[in-house]
Structure 1
Amino acid sequence: MEKTRKTGISRAQFLAGTAAVGLAGALLPAAGARAAERHGGGLTRRGVVYTLVDGETPATGFNRARMRADIRAIRDDLHADTVEVTGDGVERLNATASEVAERGMHVWLQPTLGDVPERDILEHLAETGRHAERLRRQGASVEFSVGCEFWLFVPGIVPGDTVLERIENLLAGTVDWERMQRRLDRFTAKAAAVGRSVFHGRLSYAAAQDDKVDWNLFDVIGIDYYSYFPNRADYVKELSRHLRWGKPLAITEFGTCTYEGAPQAGGMGWYVVDYDKVPPEIKGDLVRSEHTQAAYLTDLLDVFESMGLYAAMAFEFGTADAEHRPDSPRYDLDMASYGIAKAVKNRPGDLSSPWHWEPKEAFHAVARRYACR
């Protein structure tokens, strides 16, 4: 049962979804909005995205003991009060959400199954939503997101059988925009209805920052945000339009990779890896910079705090398959990772090697901000 619900998306394909956030500004129609009062009150929830997908090797696959240790570290060392549990696989999503709740943190549960028939995506959504409702009734602090950027992950909205094929069609312009928007609206409404039928707390959805979404369907506006501006005022200007709906605004993803110039690449930061090479390698002569990543995250947190947004989730805790190789910059795939923790193997370059994570500068920088709430 569980195996039939997995996307089969590799790390490179999954990161392509992140890249699409960067594409969205150029490819998708601008969102309309109605005037409404702004919600204030400070950044209520400070969190991190914890992504659950199949590892590329058995060593990097889901491991319950490792997950529990990670959640403890997120609470005790990162000082986050919220974990966005996302990805696919009902059992591992629900187990992780339960662990977050047991640790006394706010659960933001968001299933993101993709590249399977629509009915399977909705069934996966319903099963995770039922678990979120059980946690809520037991007294846990829980919100439920029905998914992420449906036009990218759900077949039938944009032409293409896979995430990568849909991205290629978007780039090539072989898309009927009006038809795509109608299909997107239809599926979003259907997903919201399923979410409401199984979960009775606050409902949300994670959209790319320029998506057109009927936010009347949801209680909380969720935006995956990867813009870069030299001037902080430009962030405020861009984000303010999402406040016109008069609903809480959550930044469901924000982050950057770990090299100089990565923030300017936005959601395309991962695109510096040549996956046609075996093993994959970094393109060009990038300069690793944990400071660049840390500065971008803290700058955006300053913006979100100043605007009194509802929530912000740093993307992401870590990427197990993006090994950090200080001995070999050409193969230091962690440079192309948005993770604030880096994966270090006992035997560098060995796919079967045991590994552990170590905090990056961004981890410590975010932890300092979160500890000061």
Structure 2
Amino acid sequence: MGVATAVGTTGWATAAEPTPIGTSDGNARRRGLTHRGVCYTLGAGETPGTAWQPARVRDDVRAIQRELHADSIKVTGDGVQRLTTTAAEAAERGLHIWLEPTLGDQPEQDILDHLAECGRFAERLRRQGAKVDLSVGCEFWLFVPGIVPGAHVLERIANLQNGTFDPVHMQRELRRFIGRAARVGRSVFHGRLSYASAQGDEVDWTLFDIVGLNYYSSFPRRSSYVRELEKYLRWGKPLAITEFGTCTFVGAPEAGGMGWATVDYTKDPPEIIGNPIRSEHTQAVYLLELLDVFESMGLYSAMAFEFITPDQPHRKEIRYDLDLASYGIVKVIKDNPNDPESDWHWKPKESFHALARRYARAATD
């Protein structure tokens, strides 16, 4: 959803203090985005066939650098080893890293301990010369128990949609936990700190160096995007678009961050709901449209959501084509679609090629 060991010496120079980065001033507007990249989500995997594998990570990070031509990667998800191994691989390739631990549905202290361990690793990378920013988390109301009622993410989403929650309590608890996370982040990491907020969240951005926003709006006019995003520049700090993207069907941009809900997971195997029309073109057009807006505003970074969703494979039968509901810019193809443990590979979608052309062009400007 729009949801380790120390690294040895590798020849990086000792990192200096963070250098100033562009905000919304005239110079930033002229040069476009500072960083262009993609979100890379990590987890244990839904099935043995989608379990995390270091070899896949190496291949994917290589493709993100060489084929997508991204200069940045958001390493997010849970599992300290998964996150730090991937961040180290990205650092070896010279990519800018946005490290964002998102352990969910666990006690608050466990989530903060997970953040602290990842933050300490990020600091080691930074001191060795890697380009790394640390996000203390993502949309805490979704992942941290007690902010919104619900035993897990899907229950919390349902309660938000049904209005069965206390908005005052939600904002109070959200601000409280963001404050705790910011203090933990500052205690272990001395580079730039941020948080990936949802649109409409009340965040005290004085706690952070970079304003982070998961952005899924859809407007018919570019001016509407600019007007909405300018509200996040009033803090006088760089604005990072920590997620932006859409699914792979006609009308997906209008569904925003809920495009994934077009799957009925109560059925075995899961089925697509209704009769959506698969459209890689819709996804590609939306991504480029938003990227143009972000470039025109001279924002700090934009991370397309997301590179891959291994548990949503593409199939020719629309009824079972879970890639329709995927935000991934590559599609997963199983060798044996009926075997959960089957090996798989990925193929670029139209959106991958569109972003690759744009990112490559920006790198030579």
2:262 counterpart residue number: 272
Give the corresponding residue for 1:201: 191
**Secondary structure class of the residue paired with 1:252:** strand
Q: What secondary structure does 2:195 align onto?
A: strand
Q: 1:132 aligns with which of 113, 122, 127?
A: 122
Note the alpha carbon deviations across 1:9-49, whole angstroms, 9 max, x for none.
xxxxxx3x66xxxxxxxxxxxxxxxxxx8345120000100
Write out per-residue CA displacement over residues 192-244 of structure 1, whole angstroms, 9 at most, x where no aligned residue. 00000000000000000111100000000000000000111111111111011
Contact 1:43 1:310 in 2 (8 A): yes
CA distance in 1, matches of 2:264, 2:154: 15
1:105 to 84, 95, 101: 95
Range that drifts further, 260-269 or 163-172: 163-172
RMSD of Structure 2 on Structure 1 (CA):
1.1
Distance 1:164 1:262 in 2: 20
Residue 324 (structure 1) aligned with residue 310 (structure 2): no
| Equivalent-residue separation in structure 1 for 2:171 and 2:139 (angstroms) | 12
The counterpart of 1:38, out of the listed 21, 24, 31, is 24
Q: Does the 8 Å CA contact 1:38/1:244 hold for their aligned counterparts?
A: no
1:181: how far off?
A: 1.4
CA distance in 2, matches of 1:168, 1:107: 33
d(CA) in 1 for partners of 2:173, 2:124: 31
Correspondence for 2:245: 255
Gaps of 5+ in 1: 1-14, 19-36
1:169 deviates by 2.1
Instruction: Spell out, residue by residue over 1:255-307, the C-alpha distance to the aligned partner (whole angstroms, 9 max, x if none).
Output: 00001111111111111111111100111111110000000000100010011
Query: Residue 289 of structure 1 aligns with which residue?
Result: 279
The number of residues matched between the two structures is 339
- Counterpart contact for 1:259–1:293, Cα < 8 Å: yes
Q: What residue in structure 2 maps to residue 355 of structure 1?
A: 344
Task: Report the AA paired with residue 351 of structure 1.
Answer: P
* Pair 39,90 (structure 1): closer, same or farther in 2 beyond 3 Å: farther
Find out whether 1:341 has 2:330 as its counterpart: yes
Any stretches of 5+ residues in structure 2 without a counterpart?
4-22
1:67 aligns with 2:68: no
Partner of 2:289: 299
In the TM superposition, what is the alpha-carbon distance from 1:54 to its structure 2 partner?
Answer: 2.0
Q: TM-score when scaled to structure 2?
A: 0.91
SS in 2 for 1:322: coil
Structure 1's consecutive aligned runs of 4 or more residues displaced over 3 angstroms after TM superposition are: 37-40
> What SS does the corresponding residue of 1:323 show, helix, strand or coil?
coil
Task: Answer with 200-209 or 165-174: which moved more.
Answer: 165-174
1:82 to 33, 57, 72: 72
Q: In 1, are the aligned partners of 2:315 and 2:333 still within 8 Å (CA)?
A: yes
* 1:246 paired to 2:236: yes
| Map of 1:57 onto structure 2 | 47
Q: Which whole-Å deviations, capped at 9, do the CAs of 1:48-79 have from their partners, x for residues lacking one?
A: 00000121111111000000000000000000
Amino acid of the structure 1 residue aligned with 2:159: N
Shift of 1:171: 2.2
> Partners in 2 of 1:225 and 1:216 — Cα distance?
21
SS at match of 1:186: helix
Amino acid at match of 2:24: R
Report if the CA contact (8 A) 1:39-1:246 is conserved: no
8 A Cα contact 1:39 1:309, kept in partner:
no
Query: How far apart, CA to CA, are the structure 2 residues paired with 1:256 and 1:272?
Result: 12
Structure 1 range deviating more: 210-219 or 178-187: 178-187
Return the alpha-carbon distance in structure 2 between the equivalents of residues 322 and 171 of structure 1: 24
User: SS state of the match for residue 339, structure 2?
Assistant: coil
Q: 1:218 aligns with which of 208, 217, 238?
A: 208
> What per-residue deviation string (whole Å, max 9, x for no partner) do you get for residues 334-371 of structure 1?
01000000000112232121100100000000000100
User: 1:22: which partner in 2?
Assistant: none
Letter in 1 for 2:227: K
Identity among equivalent positions (%) equals: 68
